Amino acid sequence: MTTPQDSPAPDPQMLRVAAVQMVSGTGPAANLESAKRLIAQAAAGGAQVVVLPEYFCLLGRKDGDKVAIRERDGEGPLQDFLAQQAAAHGIWLVGGTVPLACDRPTRVRNACLVHGPDGRRRARYDKIHLFGLSRGDESFDESATIEAGHTPVVVDAGPWRIGLSICYDLRFPELYRRLLPVDLIVVPSAFTYTTGSSHWELLLRARAVENQCYVLAPAQGGRHENGRRTWGHSMLVDPWGEVLAVQAEGEGVVAGTLERRRIDEVRRSLPALRHRVL
């Protein structure tokens, strides 16, 4: 592993980022091993910020499975794993989501935790918008096992401002306006195949264009042990809405470089954020 002493000083005008795509199963231990391997792959490729997908630690056979592995805020093997991986590689690690205990024993907070290069936790965002779908044979109701969060969160990774969101949040543009100004929006997700095939890329590119920032969206992507199929297509989108990198299905790492001059160029040529009235 490369140490900070061996590496050249990073250019503050550029940021190397990576989205980890997974096909998580029903066993947390196996999922952590997969995440560990993919984080190492991303770090070896020079990523300074690595983002895991939603439910990286578990896609159970039933909704209550994530409640069974919930952890108290600040303690537990899932949180320890994220801290250790961030410190081991000297990276900013956005830990997908972890089920954290709340006041109601039958529910959890679906929490996105951010750890800095020293392993210390720097931010926590609890998913605000809870997914619900009833379409044909598919039915989902996250509110049955998840307690919604309420507070938008932005974290400063050095000079780069990163806005946090999770999966279904992507459909609610007002959340992202609350995050401004940001340079990067992350969207760890587990979009269903049905909704992802119709809306995933469309919504990601729209969020990038309207907020004139990069969007990095790691996803679950494939056929899971529990029979569920997720859309995948983890991607990096630039402030003009151009898709810079994408992976359709299967495990992998989607990487790219954020450029400050690209953000400035887009905002200068089309100053839509300054033209806002409402």
Helix (H) or strand (E) holding 89: helix 77-89
Residue 112 bears catalytic tag: no
**pLDDT for 90 beyond 70:** yes
Residue 127 bears catalytic tag: yes
CATH number of the 15-271 domain: 3.60.110.10
**Set 54, 71, 142, 249: catalytic member:** 54
**pLDDT for 61 beyond 90:** yes
pLDDT class of 6 with cuts at 50, 70, 90: low
**Set 112, 167, 201, 213: catalytic member:** 167
Q: What is the pLDDT of residue 164?
A: 99
pLDDT, tens digit, 9 for 90 and up, residues 130-173: 999 888 888 889 999 999 999 999 999 999 999 999 999 999 99
**Set 71, 127, 249, 251: catalytic member:** 127
**pLDDT for 4 beyond 60:** no
Residue 66 bears catalytic tag: no
CB 263 within 8 Å of CB 213: yes
Cis status, amide bond into 181, omega within 30 of 0: yes
Name the one residue in this structure whose structure tokens are 């895991």. Answer: 52
Domain ranges of the chain: 15-271
- The single-letter code of the amino acid at 129 is H
- When comparing pLDDT for 190 and 2, which is higher? 190
Region 74-79: mean pLDDT is: 98
Q: What is the pLDDT of residue 96?
A: 98
Region 107-112: mean pLDDT is: 98
Region 29-56: mean pLDDT is: 98
**Which residues, including other chains, have CB under 8 Å from residue 246's CB and lie 6 or more apart?**
233, 234, 235, 236, 254
Q: What is the pLDDT of residue 7?
A: 56
State the chain's mean pLDDT as an integer.
Answer: 96
Selection from 68, 138, 52, 55 nearest residue 101 by Cα: 68
Region 199-208: mean pLDDT is: 98
Percent pLDDT > 90 in the chain is 93
Q: What does the DSSP assignment read for 60-81?
A: -SSTTHHHHT-B-TT-SHHHHH
Q: What's the pTM?
A: 0.95
Q: What is the pLDDT of residue 8?
A: 65
pLDDT class of 118 with cuts at 50, 70, 90: very high
- The CA dihedral of 171, 95, 192, 162, to the nearest 10 degrees, is 20
CB 237 within 8 Å of CB 244: yes
